[in-house]
Chains A and B, each alone.
Chain A
């Protein structure tokens, strides 16, 4: 991941649910309650970059017998929730991943770095591989009918998230190059 990778930056900005472990004054507006301080135990959606930092950093223990704790505790975002995972387990192709998150796999890999979830990892891998075959088929068809993904292909493209769109473009470019060569072969 490069420093200027726009997808990595957008993945960093995805909201993840975080539970505050301590009471914070003046932050009540995050919970739509500006007059009150933010209570400990409130769940707030924070961007991934902020949530990650706050969850991994530890604050100084307030008393000697208390262990050092982090500011917040991270939870899995809704796009990686159990419902989505069981839907993906049932049929990876039926789920429009873009509705879950624009950077579904990017977010997934970031969360897998933080959580040790073997099952989610296996499901994500199976989903990616199964959907990739479909993407290749659509990329080939879009080249064959010359509509470049407009029409029937657009509906399909709408369900793809960023990694899959890149894959679609690569597969389509390959097919297009071969097709152009085949059409141009008679000319030279």
Chain B
């Protein structure tokens, strides 16, 4: 280990990546499109809403040239539902990630889930997976936490608290969510003992992963090391059994 760098992304890197997420803004001034490597930003015309990356939204917000529209999942009612879901409905698992906006129709094409196919859509318009989902715009589904929920909400609360309805309550609910999910993350390693050695981390956000990566990997590694000798002897037994029974039922053996 020459470089003592931690494995995976550190929290500041995760927050940096989060600035690429699209958010909806209400511009207060006109702004012509800006040519960027990732393409043009939309032209801003004052009463019309537009979707821009978070970094640009924050810049415009600081210059008082735009207001940020809070994503629907960051409203008090949605967060209350989520806390209820995490604590009462399913105290073991994390709340599920947002549903995919596109779903395969079984004939090789994907189309928007729950809506009729748009005749004008081109194949490149389909967005199927995070992190490219518009999970923090005003169209995001309410009641589901997107991948970048913690960083996005913290950033918005820090820089655009006046645009979020009922910000103090939102802040308190986010603290509750964070604590209850951190406790689940700690408890999730308990299931490693039961064999299998698989953790279910469905619905966990990027910042939570960055926070718990070292710990979870440490536990998995430790369990693997303790079980290594037993695993080796189990393999040997299996090989012996395969060698003994190989003569008559060799068809059932899987070859790797």
Contact = CB atoms under 8 A, between A and B. Distances in A.
Interface of A: 105, 108-109, 112-113, 116, 118, 121, 124-126, 128-130, 132-133, 136-137, 139-140, 163, 166-167, 170-171, 173-175, 177-178, 180-182, 185-186
B222 A105 contact: yes
Given A128-B223, A137-B186, A170 B214 contact: yes
Contacts of A137: 186
Contacts of B214: 170-171, 173-174
A163 B222 contact: yes
Contacts of A113: 228-229
B5 to A, nearest CB: 12
B210 A125 contact: no
A12 to B, nearest CB: 16
Contacts of B155: 185
- From DSSP, what is the main secondary structure of chain B's interface residues? helix
A174 B6 CA distance: 10
B3 interface: no
Given A105-B225, A166-B218, A136 B186 contact: yes
Contacts of B186: 133, 136-137, 140
Contact of B12 (A130, A167, A181): A181
Contacts of A167: 215, 218-219, 222
A108 B229 CA distance: 11
A109 B210 contact: no
Given A167-B222, A178-B210, A129 B193 contact: yes
Contacts of B12: 177, 181
A105 to B, nearest CB: 6
A140 B225 CA distance: 25
Interface residues of B, number: 36
A51 B168 CA distance: 64
Contacts of A180: 11
20 contacts: A112-B229, A126-B193, A128-B219, A128-B226, A130-B193, A132-B189, A132-B222, A133-B189, A137-B186, A139-B215, A140-B182, A140-B186, A167-B222, A173-B6, A174-B212, A174-B215, A177-B11, A180-B11, A185-B158, A186-B158
A125 B226 CA distance: 6
Given A177-B10, A185-B155, 11 more contacts: A109-B225, A112-B226, A112-B230, A116-B233, A129-B190, A133-B186, A136-B189, A140-B182, A140-B186, A174-B213, A180-B11
A1 B57 CA distance: 49
Interface string B1-39: 000001000111001000000000000000000000000
A22 B249 CA distance: 49
A149 B203 CA distance: 31
A132 B219 contact: yes
B139 interface: no
B178 to A, nearest CB: 9
B189 A121 contact: no
Contacts of B190: 129-130, 133
Given A121-B227, A174-B213, A129 B192 contact: yes
Contacts of B6: 173
B114 interface: no
Nearest to B222: A128
Nearest to B219: A132
B124 to A, nearest CB: 35
B222 A133 contact: no
A111 to B, nearest CB: 9
Contacts of B229: 109, 112-113, 121
Contacts of B47: none
The 9 closest A-B pairs by CB, nearest first: A170-B214, A171-B215, A181-B11, A136-B186, A112-B229, A129-B193, A174-B211, A167-B218, A178-B211
A105 B227 CA distance: 11
Contacts of B228: 109, 113
A177 B226 CA distance: 29
